[in-house]
């Protein structure tokens, strides 16, 4: 069974892992900056966690994927509407009549930061490496739309049988299992980045560990990386579109303490910073203060393969229904987030009939109702033959994560007699490792959409890739039908995804908490940072204008 971590900001805590910037608003379309921008083009940001991995085959988290956006470039990238536009590709794919064979022409002037040309073979090598069972990539499933990818990843076929080949240095052919409406958008995702085969083989196990153990083909290159302290990106002079890149440097400070980050902002040492719930009232009237509702869902995963107690539906429903999410939003988050009982964001996905996915996604069973929660709890204890139950709650080591965990603990223990919650806080990277092994009872985090379809949330609980132990053949069948046979019938596919969502939520196999908001401060001199639906910041057109010397 393939397992996948959830992107923790993650992918994943309540506080902002990377200070999300809108650059004075992502809608700022003023690109005529020549002669007006500041001569010193340096952007200073905060990351609340270090980079777990610079190897695109191994990353599962938002910190890594954010940096990939800066230093690597794939075939496509997402525009301001989160639609794929050509990056290394010269244009849109040429598709066969059945939609299963794609031919993509690459730019002939793209280079790596060591001067090597970027070729179609770099994509073939990188993608084979991702799906190779021996690599252990937790994100390999995202390539399962490519012919033979799943069989390769499960050890049934050789990586050389992956449905991708270099026709020549600048022509890539991709064979798909089925025609996929969202696959072009997937090609903008970090796992699909190319990899310089010569450098990767030369570095071996050290590839991606440290700034000097990789080469880069994006608008920036990593020139400094001090573990748990900082990392620095500088403009890549070998980037094919370098003349349009205005920033000279991007400096990230690893700062886990929210107040420290705010102090750095107030003293002008960073240009953007996340604002915690406690600080919103202090800054809400500040001209630099901004909030936004994102497409990310913050939720609790429940481990089905561990304690017998968590295999009981009444117990899971008791946990879900005993949480006052509105109070949590007001007192712990206070950043523009909204409470939710659904795994998918509202007002993001529209079906063929024009209706929002939230209308068919279910989740009513998870609404806050203490009396109903107590009834479910009573039934669970009777079925289990226990009066006392202890569960562990896994989260990160951030201060905000501790506050959240303590809130949930108080809610559960006061509403459900006999329940004891043990809070386990670990560093971000260690949390990812525990989740990958399924070593938790309840784990808290977020998921940001990888592409513009509800499937990016729904297949998190597909038994072939989940780390929750959830394994329902009926659910799996609906997911597999929606990935293949139902593609020619968009409405039926849409309705099937709605049924799958309802099934998942009806017995609290997952406990959604909020549709994530983002409260932050950003200096007015930061311009034109584009933020896509996955909350990835694009800095290739960003610039500094009006900063006091």
Model pLDDT, residue 103 = 99
Residue 374 located in a structural domain: yes
The 10s digit of each residue's pLDDT in 439-471 is: 999 999 888 888 889 999 999 999 988 889 999
Confidence of residue 38 (pLDDT cuts 50, 70, 90): confident
Query: Residue 164: beta bridge partners?
Result: 174
Residue 261 located in a structural domain: no
Averaging pLDDT over each range in 61-65, 463-467, 511-515, which range is the top one? Answer: 511-515
Model pLDDT, residue 361 = 98
Q: Which pairs with CB-CB distance under 8 Å and at least 24 residues apart come from 88-94?
A: 88/118, 88/194, 88/217, 92/184, 93/174, 93/184
Neighbouring C-beta atoms of residue 206, cutoff 10 Å: 12
The 10s digit of each residue's pLDDT in 106-129 is: 999 999 999 999 999 999 999 999
Model pLDDT, residue 184 = 95
Q: What is the pLDDT of the chain when averaged over all its residues?
A: 91
Model pLDDT, residue 324 = 98
CATH code: domain of residue 154: 3.90.76.10
Q: Are 483 and 333 in contact (CB under 8 A)?
A: no
Q: How far is CA 335 from CA 22, 285, 405, 415, in A?
A: 15, 14, 18, 26
Residue 25 located in a structural domain: no
What is the Cα–Cα distance from 199 to 191, expressed in whole angstroms? 18
User: What is the span of the domain harbouring residue 175?
Assistant: 50-212
Q: Lowest-pLDDT range, 175-184, 320-329, 416-425, 498-507?
A: 175-184
Residues 6+ apart with CB under 8 A from 502: 360, 361, 362, 363
What is the Cα–Cα distance from 316 to 416, expressed in whole angstroms? 12
Whether residues 179 and 314 fall in one domain: no
Judged against a pLDDT cut of 50, whether residue 496 lies above it is answered with: yes
What is the Cα–Cα distance from 132 to 87, expressed in whole angstroms? 26
Whether residues 297 and 164 fall in one domain: no
Residue 36 located in a structural domain: no
Model pLDDT, residue 207 = 94
What is the Cα–Cα distance from 439 to 437, expressed in whole angstroms? 5
User: How far does CA 458 lie from the centroid of its chain?
Assistant: 14
Model pLDDT, residue 40 = 85
Model pLDDT, residue 549 = 63
User: Cα-Cα-Cα-Cα dihedral of 16, 19, 25, 29, to 10°?
Assistant: -130
Total domains in the fold of the chain: 2
- Of the candidates 2, 1, 301, which has an alpha carbon nearest to the alpha carbon of residue 140? 2
The 10s digit of each residue's pLDDT in 176-232 is: 999 888 899 999 999 999 999 999 999 999 999 989 999 999 999 999 999 999 999
User: How far does CA 542 lie from the centroid of its chain?
Assistant: 22
Residues 6+ apart with CB under 8 A from 433: none
Mean pLDDT of 302-316: 95
Confidence of residue 30 (pLDDT cuts 50, 70, 90): very low
Residue 61 located in a structural domain: yes
- End-of-domain residue from the set 182, 212, 242: 212
The 10s digit of each residue's pLDDT in 384-401 is: 999 999 999 999 998 889
Whether residues 312 and 447 fall in one domain: yes
How many alpha carbons fall within 13 Å on the CB side of residue 77? 24
């Amino acid at each position: 069974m393939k397992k996948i971590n959830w992107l923790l900001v993650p992918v994943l805590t309540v506080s902002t892992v990377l200070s999300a910037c809108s650059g004075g608003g992502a809608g700022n379309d003023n690109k005529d900056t020549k002669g007006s921008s500041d001569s010193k083009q340096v952007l200073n940001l905060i990351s609340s966690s270090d980079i777990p991995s610079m190897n695109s085959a191994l990353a599962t988290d938002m910190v890594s994927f954010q940096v990939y956006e800066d230093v690597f470039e794939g075939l496509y990238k997402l525009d301001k509407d989160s639609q794929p536009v050509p990056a290394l590709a010269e244009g849109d794919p040429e598709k066969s009549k059945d939609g299963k064979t794609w031919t993509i022409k690459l730019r002939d002037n793209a280079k790596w930061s060591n001067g090597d040309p970027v070729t179609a073979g770099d994509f073939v090598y990188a993608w084979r490496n991702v799906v190779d069972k021996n690599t252990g990539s937790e994100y390999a499933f995202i390539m399962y739309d490519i012919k033979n990818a799943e069989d390769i990843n499960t050890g049934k076929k050789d990586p050389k049988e992956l449905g991708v080949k270099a026709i020549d240095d600048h022509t890539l052919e991709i064979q798909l299992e089925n025609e996929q409406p969202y696959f072009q958008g997937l090609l903008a995702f970090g796992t699909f980045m190319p990899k310089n085969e010569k450098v990767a083989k030369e570095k071996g196990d050290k590839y991606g560990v440290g700034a000097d153990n990789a080469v880069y083909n994006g608008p920036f290159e990593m020139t400094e990386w001090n573990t748990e302290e900082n990392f620095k990106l500088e403009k890549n002079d070998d980037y094919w579109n370098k003349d349009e890149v205005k920033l000279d440097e991007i400096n990230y400070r690893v700062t886990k303490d929210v107040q420290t980050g705010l102090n750095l902002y107030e003293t002008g040492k960073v240009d953007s910073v996340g604002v915690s719930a406690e600080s919103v009232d202090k800054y809400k009237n500040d001209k630099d203060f901004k909030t936004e509702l994102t497409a990310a869902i913050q939720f609790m995963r429940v481990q089905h393969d561990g304690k017998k107690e968590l295999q009981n539906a009444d117990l899971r429903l008791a946990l879900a229904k005993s949480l006052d999410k509105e109070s949590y939003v007001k007192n712990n988050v206070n950043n523009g987030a909204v409470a939710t009982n659904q795994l998918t964001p509202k007002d993001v996905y529209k079906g063929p009939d024009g209706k929002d996915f939230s209308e068919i996604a279910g989740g009513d069973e998870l609404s806050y109702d203490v009396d109903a929660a107590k009834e479910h709890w009573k039934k669970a204890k009777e079925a289990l033959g226990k009066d006392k139950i202890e569960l562990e709650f896994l989260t990160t080591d951030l201060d905000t994560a501790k506050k959240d965990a303590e809130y949930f603990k108080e809610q559960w223990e006061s509403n459900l007699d006999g329940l004891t919650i043990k809070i386990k806080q670990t560093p971000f990277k260690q949390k990812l490792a525990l989740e990958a092994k399924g070593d938790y009872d309840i784990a808290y985090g977020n998921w940001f959409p990888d592409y513009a379809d509800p499937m990016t949330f729904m297949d998190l609980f597909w038994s072939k890739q989940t780390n929750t132990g959830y394994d329902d053949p009926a659910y799996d069948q609906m997911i597999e039908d929606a990935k293949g046979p139902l593609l020619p019938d968009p409405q039926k596919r849409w309705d099937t995804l709605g049924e799958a969502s309802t099934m998942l939520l009806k017995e609290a196999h997952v406990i959604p908490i909020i549709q994530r908001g983002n409260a932050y401060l950003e200096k007015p001199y930061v311009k034109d940072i584009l933020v896509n639906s996955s909350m990835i910041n694009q800095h290739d057109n960003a610039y500094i204008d009006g900063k006091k010397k």
